[in-house]
Amino acid sequence: MRRAAHLVRRFFGALWPGAPRAVDTAWAATVLTPSELTLWSHMPNHDRRHSINVARRVQAQLAGTHYADDPRWVAAALLHDVGKLDARLGPVRRACATLAGAVGGRGMAELWSTKRGITRRVGLYLRHPELGSDRIRVVGGRAEAAQWARVHHTPDDWPSTGLPSAVVEALAAADND
């Protein structure tokens, strides 16, 4: 139920077309490398706003720990959904893609992404963790950001990242808040 409420909030928040606040964009620029910033800047406004919110929550959750002030974790939060760029879907079609994945199974994503039209775009959307990880690696982004992008929807894979468990918990909680 909590996941559904999170997705509903994200959907309605995505309908507002406004860009992130200038102060938030400037903050992201202090955290990301130039190539990561270019990648992040291509994300739609609603994804950048979401990523900033996630990154700020990660930063707050890690404050006072020995993981605080490490830009790798904030970069991972800012870039975790960058793979959604490949699908080029707006909020309504993303909601439909999420439902299609729930009904057809995420296992269909690879097959769907070989098709044409909206079926392909749904498949690409469902594969956004893998595609985002690849995008981060291609631009020379931080390995930790690529690892988190790849596994952020698959808790069983979190231990394989090598990321500290406290960081993983902060990243996951911040994204699902």
| Structural domain spans, the chain | 2-175
What are the pLDDT tens digits along the chain (177 aa)?
A: 566 665 677 666 656 678 999 999 999 999 999 999 999 999 999 999 999 999 999 999 999 999 998 999 999 999 999 999 999 999 999 999 999 999 988 789 999 999 999 999 999 999 999 999 999 999 999 999 999 999 999 999 999 999 999 999 999 999 987
- Please tell me the distance from the alpha carbon of residue 12 to that of residue 33, in angstroms, as a whole number: 30
Which residue in the block uniquely carries the two structure tokens 């490490």?
70
Q: What is the pLDDT of residue 104?
A: 87
Contact yes or no for 136/80 (Cβ under 8 A): no
- Please tell me the distance from the alpha carbon of residue 89 to that of residue 126, in angstroms, as a whole number: 11
pTM of model > 0.85: yes
Q: What is the pLDDT of residue 6?
A: 58
